[in-house]
Amino acid sequence: MSPRTLRRLLLLIVSIIVGVVAFYLVPEQLPELSRAEFMDEVRAGHVHRIEIEDQEVILSESTTRGPFRSGFNKARDASLPDELRALGVEIWYSKSPPGI
């Protein structure tokens, strides 16, 4: 086998290994609920706590649907936290670490 062919074979093997490792290490993205679906879950009493991350996304878990995410717009949704608190939902705010 020529050195060039050996290098290509080695590169192919390394690429496959990297792909398999990435597949298992990268977390699956959470299902996205529309605002209507999210509020239906809250009003039904299936959501007890939410996290508003970077003022852009709501992360939570429903007792019926499991973990999910929903969009959050700081300007449009300014009154949403108060509305959720009135419905008995605990609110947490967080920031992603730089680079994530």
Domain residue ranges in the chain: 35-94
The beta strand positions in the chain, using DSSP E, are: 47-53, 57-62, 66-71, 90-94
Contact 68, 60 (CB under 8 A): yes
Rounded to whole angstroms, the Cα distance separating 35 from 76 reads: 12
Statement: residue 84 has pLDDT above 70: yes
Statement: residue 1 has pLDDT above 80: no
- Give the pLDDT band of residue 89 (cuts 50, 70, 90): very high
pTM across the whole model: 0.69
Top pLDDT among 64 and 1 is at: 64
- Distance, first Cα to last Cα, the chain: 43
Q: Report, at the CATH architecture level, how domain 35-94 is classified.
A: 2-Layer Sandwich (3.30)
